[in-house]
Amino acid sequence: MIASVLVAAIGALHVYILVLEMFRWEAPRTRAVFGTSAEFARASKVMAGNQGLYNGFLAAGLFWALTKGVAGAGFALAVFFLGCVLVAGLYGAATASRRILFVQAVPAALGLLAVGFGV
């Protein structure tokens, strides 16, 4: 039960990131979230859209795992996609912003633990 809630929440987070990066990248609130200037947002819009698409793939995989049941047939899917989120979060924390560690990597690690222990 906890594992499914965490997987769903992490999936929803990545849908939110998809929306910010693909459709709201130049909006003032999105720029505040990511700490970017209007000039940078304008120059990096295509790159951000690409990143958003990848976040959508992560969300889709997590929701796919939920439809199969994270304690059953979706276990391997949940582990794979949570692992991808964890690696992306660690890389982002090391290269872009330490905040990504807490927004992305820590939740993914907690999700992996919950899925692995079947809680």
In this structure, the number of other CB atoms found within 10 A of the CB of residue 114 comes to 20
Position 111 scores a pLDDT of 98
Position 99 scores a pLDDT of 95
Tokens at residue 51, please? 């990143």
For the chain, the residue count is 119
Task: Give the model confidence (pLDDT) of 14-35 as tens digits.
Answer: 999 999 999 999 999 999 999 9
Q: Is the pTM of this model over 0.85?
A: yes
Listed residue (5, 18, 35, 11) closest to 85, CA to CA? 11
Residues 81, 61: Cα–Cα separation, whole Å: 6
Element (H, E) at 108: helix 106-117
Task: Give the model confidence (pLDDT) of 39-76 as tens digits.
Answer: 999 999 999 999 999 999 999 999 999 999 999 999 99
Task: Give the model confidence (pLDDT) of 73-109 as tens digits.
Answer: 999 999 999 999 999 999 999 999 999 999 999 999 9
Position 51 scores a pLDDT of 96
